[in-house]
Each structure stands twice: as structure tokens, then as C-alpha cells.
């Protein structure tokens, strides 16, 4: 971790300055890790000590895919529900982008459709929970 990363970590509430055995800034440890499986893809969300949340996506399109790290450079969210809603929307956008793609070797249409259905199902369950 470098100084820039440490400054970003402070935005998540990590204030301690610690060094690892090599003299580098120690990487902060997020709290409340949660992994939400959506067929072959997943969303990872975590909270910093000050209650700021972030997410990262693992998208599997069949053969092709994408993934990003969950760290201090991720976009910040005020609470879990807002972070999860944003993550679901981004994942749905990524999956929808490849629906009907002619490259069916990398973008398996059945995988995309199943993932979108799982996202919609999760979105519905979030709405139902807010009604109570």
C-alpha cells in the first residue's frame, strides 16, 4: 500500500498507520464481508470502520468474464442496501450488454439469461424486505 492508498483508506474510516514486515503500509482489512452468488457470477460487498460500504463484481458470461478488486479505490456508499442496489444494477447492465451477442462461444446466452433472472429475483426480494 502506498500513501495514495492510505489516503483513500481514510475515507472508509481506516485511520491507523501500520507497516508490514517489509516497511510498507499495511493493507486495511474491511469489515462485514458478504459474497452474493448470482448463478456463476457474484457480488462482493464490504464495510469500512466508519460505515462506508463498497462493492466489486465477478461477472461470468459463459467463457468470457471480468472481475475487479474490492478495495479502497471502489466507489463509496452510505449503507449496505445502496451498495447492493448499485451492484445489482451494474451487474444487470453488464449481462444485458451481451444478450444477443453473436459471439456465443464467449457469451453464453443461457448463462446471461440465468444471471439476469437471479438479479431480478434478488431485486424483488430486496423490495419485499423494505415493505416490512
> CA of 43: how far to CAs of 90, 114, 131, in Å?
10, 15, 24
Q: Measure the CA–CA gap between 18 and 13, rounded to whole angstroms.
A: 14
Please give the helix or strand (H or E) that residue 36 lies within, else none: strand 31-38
Give the pLDDT of the chain (132 residues) as one tens digit per residue: 577 888 898 999 998 888 888 888 788 889 999 999 999 999 999 999 999 999 999 999 999 999 999 999 999 999 999 999 999 999 999 999 999 999 999 999 999 999 999 999 999 988 876 655
Neighbours of 53 (CB within 10 A): 26
Beta carbons within 8 Å of 123's beta carbon, 6+ residues apart: 85, 88
Amino acid at each position: 500500500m502506498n500513501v495514495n492508498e492510505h489516503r483513500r483508506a481514510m475515507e472508509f474510516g481506516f485511520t491507523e498507520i501500520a507497516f508490514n514486515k517489509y516497511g510498507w503500509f499495511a493493507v486495511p482489512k474491511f469489515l462485514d464481508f458478504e459474497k452474493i452468488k448470482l448463478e456463476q457470477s457474484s457480488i462482493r460487498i464490504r464495510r469500512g470502520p466508519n460505515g462506508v460500504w463498497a462493492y466489486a463484481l465477478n461477472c461470468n458470461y459463459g467463457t468470457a468474464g471480468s472481475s475487479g478488486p474490492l478495495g479502497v479505490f471502489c466507489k463509496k456508499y452510505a449503507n449496505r442496501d445502496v451498495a447492493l442496489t448499485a451492484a445489482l444494477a451494474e451487474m444487470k447492465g453488464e449481462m444485458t450488454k451481451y444478450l444477443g451477442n453473436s459471439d456465443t462461444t464467449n457469451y453464453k446466452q443461457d448463462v446471461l439469461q440465468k444471471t439476469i433472472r437471479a438479479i431480478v429475483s434478488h431485486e424483488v426480494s430486496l423490495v419485499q424486505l423494505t415493505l416490512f
